[in-house]
Structure 1
Amino acid sequence: MSARSDWKPLELRPDGVPGGADGLLEALDAAGGPAELLAREKVVVFRDFQVTEEAVEPVLDALLPNRLSYMHGTSPRAKVGGNVYTSTEYPQHLTISMHNELSYSHRWPERIVFFCTTTPGSGGATPVVDGALWLDVLDEEVRKAFAGGVRYLQNLHDGFGLGRSWQQTFETDDRATVEEYLAAGEYDWEWTADGLRMASPVRPSTIVHPVSGAEVWFNQVDQFHPAALGDDTARELAQILPPEELPQSVSFADGGRIPDEYVLQVRDRGLDAAVDVDWRRGDLMVIDNVAVGHGRRPFTGDRRVLVAMSG
């Protein structure tokens, strides 16, 4: 068994330090600080500190020195504070497959913090997967097929339509702000009668981690591809509309169709290789968004996990 397959997140508890936000910050400093910890561990879970939502702000400031908005996000969330959001609000019976946040974009966060404010009734773990292991467990045929990269296509409506609007996606009503973002990312785009149509330049399917030097799987093809849609309505829609008319789709770099079986292998093996992090109220987790992917297991009850991210 490889060292990668033995990997699991580091868990820190208030041993010898008080609970709450102050104790967590003390434990963080004693362990070397967030940069050193994440370079070594990739994911750190803070258990039993019982941090409250009212007291979490200094913890977020320490873990996320440059907190980002969710600009160009594709999943439904609610903003609850200064660049703090609810985690993806897909129906609770669905699994959210593994992904690196905003890996389809030209700007992605380096770190993500998850903070549990309501313990789920059952289930609801956040699975995390080592991106190097995820790449390793894919068939050579699949790795070679994706070596040239991929292109993402999005159709964002103007307030009425399927999927997210461009206003929700970019957290603005200002077209000039959106155009500046698209120009920086070298997108092909046009305003249409219904909203915004945008196609990314070629994006890599893997990248090299800037610190460890490891090659990691880093894309969101299964979340853009019709074959991996988990919602019945979305699957039915994909049978009616061609991919280029769906709210989002993906192709190989040359525009060629990505086979369903490739996408399903990426989705399923990522989930199978993941380690589940269960939640209790007051727990936090910080992840290296390049080194690891994350997702969500189905749950019952009133699970509430907040998310913030930084560059």
Structure 2
Amino acid sequence: MTQQNRAKLSLNTLGTTSRKSVKVSQSALIQTSHLLGTSIPLVIQPTVESMDLIAWATSNRETIEALFLQHRALLFRGFKIKSAEQFNQFVQATAQGELLSYRDRSSPRHEVEGKIYTSTDYPAQERIFLHNEGTYWLTYPLKIYFCCLTVAEQGGETPIADTQKVLQRLAPQIRDRFTEKKVLYVRNYNDGFGLTWQTVFQTDDKAVVEDYCRRNAIEFEWKPGDRLRTRQVRDAIAKHPITGELTWFNHAAFFHISTLEPTIRHALLTEFKEEELPQNTYYGDGSEIEPEVLDAIREAYHQETIIFPWQAGDILLLNNMLVAHGRRPYSGARKVLVGMAEPYCHREFNVEE
């Protein structure tokens, strides 16, 4: 299904992007609800114990698409998903085209099956701040899927937040400043902290890295000792290509040094000069983002954060441009997988083909 057809589907089925009820085909097989006190996600559950989610999804793809565009976040619960293979089949049944590879990485992950990855291999005791996937890429997924196969003994939730509402919480002067200046991402690799450039770009060949950077509007600089610095400017506010909604879509707070836990932040600032930090953000013109602005951004995310416990077999489908996700610290075994689908290419930047 092309983006144009998907847009037509959204208009024909929903009328507008405002919240309206959607008539679900084969309604006897599923029931929908919301978690107590939350607007997202919409919870979809089977009414019969033996229901095959993949078969139902294959037959009801347009229904799922309409619900997805209307509600932004769908939680499929109670369908007894137990493997990466089943999760992959569900993603294939509900997404258009091939899944995205995880390149230009910011978090450690490993591939499990056919572009299905662990959600993150980041240490269990650390939290991961809310973000939309790949805002600093030129091509990013419109859909991101999570599947919980093993629930942590404690913690480990995947908090979410409506980033259109995050945008609305920010003062007009903050929105205007980021609209005008955009966001600059600066990353340094192979300084003994964080991911190496070989891991981030999935290659040992510098020429491959340089080619990727040129094609993706990324400035690069090789430093002594096999080290690399990259700089890329991206929009802070994006327009969804199907719904037309404006959304806060960036890693300005996520990558900023001030968002890190105090002990980690202190260790990094003790070890590195600011320009040598593994990652940091600025306004697009290179000027500092004011501390009070970063505080306001983090508070906006906090006010819109929705947290719910995982259940084994859950699949969470998010509209990646409109809903952010994160991770809470946890203890015990935890296995959550991720898949990214339906790439959208942002081409307002001058790139070398």
Q: TM-score, normalised by structure 1?
A: 0.90
Distance in 2 (alpha carbons) for counterparts of 1:27 and 1:85: 21
Q: Secondary structure at the match of 2:46?
A: coil
- Contact 2:144/2:320 (<8 A) preserved: yes
Tell me what 2:94 maps to: 63
Q: Alpha-carbon deviations, 1:194-223, whole Å to 9, x = none?
A: 3221111x3111011111111100000112
Distance in 2 (alpha carbons) for counterparts of 1:225 and 1:231: 13
Tell me what 1:42 maps to: 72
Q: Secondary structure at the match of 1:36?
A: helix
Tell me what 1:51 maps to: 81
47, 55, 60: which is aligned to 1:30?
A: 60
Tell me what 2:8 maps to: none
Tell me what 2:144 maps to: 112
Distance in 2 (alpha carbons) for counterparts of 1:168 and 1:123: 28
Q: Which amino acid in structure 2 is aligned with residue 40 of structure 1?
A: Q
Distance in 2 (alpha carbons) for counterparts of 1:253 and 1:70: 25
Residue 165 of structure 2 is aligned to residue 133 of structure 1 = yes
Residue 183 of structure 2 is aligned to residue 150 of structure 1 = yes
Distance in 2 (alpha carbons) for counterparts of 1:171 and 1:249: 22
Distance in 2 (alpha carbons) for counterparts of 1:67 and 1:191: 31
Distance in 1 (alpha carbons) for counterparts of 2:187 and 2:86: 38
Tell me what 1:288 maps to: 319
Summarize the Cα distance change of 1:258–1:281 in structure 2 as closer, same or farther, 3 Å threshold.
same
Q: CA shift at 1:24, angstroms?
A: 4.3
Q: CA shift at 1:17, angstroms?
A: 6.7
Q: CA shift at 1:175, angstroms?
A: 2.4
Tell me what 1:166 maps to: 197
Tell me what 1:192 maps to: 223
Q: Which amino acid in structure 1 is aligned with residue 320 of structure 2?
A: N
Q: CA shift at 1:28, angstroms?
A: 6.3
Tell me what 2:206 maps to: 175
Distance in 2 (alpha carbons) for counterparts of 1:86 and 1:31: 25
Runs of 4+ in 1 over 6 A off after TM superposition: none
Summarize the Cα distance change of 1:165–1:171 in structure 2 as closer, same or farther, 3 Å threshold.
same
Compare relative contact order (CA 8 Å, sep 6+) and give the higher one, 1 or 2.
Answer: 1
Distance in 1 (alpha carbons) for counterparts of 2:327 and 2:275: 28
Distance in 1 (alpha carbons) for counterparts of 2:323 and 2:244: 14
Distance in 2 (alpha carbons) for counterparts of 1:37 and 1:231: 41
- Contact 1:63/1:113 (<8 A) preserved: no
Q: CA shift at 1:230, angstroms?
A: 2.2
Q: Secondary structure at the match of 1:101?
A: coil
Tell me what 1:121 maps to: 153
Distance in 2 (alpha carbons) for counterparts of 1:62 and 1:27: 6
Residue 304 of structure 2 is aligned to residue 276 of structure 1 = no
Summarize the Cα distance change of 1:91–1:112 in structure 2 as closer, same or farther, 3 Å threshold.
same
Summarize the Cα distance change of 1:268–1:299 in structure 2 as closer, same or farther, 3 Å threshold.
farther
Give RMSD over aligned pairs: 2.3
Tell me what 1:85 maps to: 117
- Contact 1:227/1:264 (<8 A) preserved: no
Tell me what 2:30 maps to: none
Q: Decide which moves more: 284-293 or 166-175.
A: 166-175
Distance in 1 (alpha carbons) for counterparts of 2:283 and 2:332: 39
Aligned length: 304
Summarize the Cα distance change of 1:277–1:217 in structure 2 as closer, same or farther, 3 Å threshold.
same
- Contact 1:11/1:47 (<8 A) preserved: yes
Distance in 2 (alpha carbons) for counterparts of 1:209 and 1:126: 23
76, 81, 102: which is aligned to 2:108?
A: 76
Q: CA shift at 1:33, angstroms?
A: 4.6
Q: CA shift at 1:224, angstroms?
A: 1.4
Residue 287 of structure 2 is aligned to residue 241 of structure 1 = no
Distance in 2 (alpha carbons) for counterparts of 1:104 and 1:277: 28
Name structure 2 gaps, 5 residues minimum.
1-17, 20-36, 344-353
Summarize the Cα distance change of 1:25–1:234 in structure 2 as closer, same or farther, 3 Å threshold.
farther
- Contact 1:229/1:235 (<8 A) preserved: no
Q: Secondary structure at the match of 2:301?
A: helix
Q: Decide which moves more: 58-67 or 280-289.
A: 58-67
Q: CA shift at 1:78, angstroms?
A: 2.1
Residue 40 of structure 2 is aligned to residue 8 of structure 1 = yes
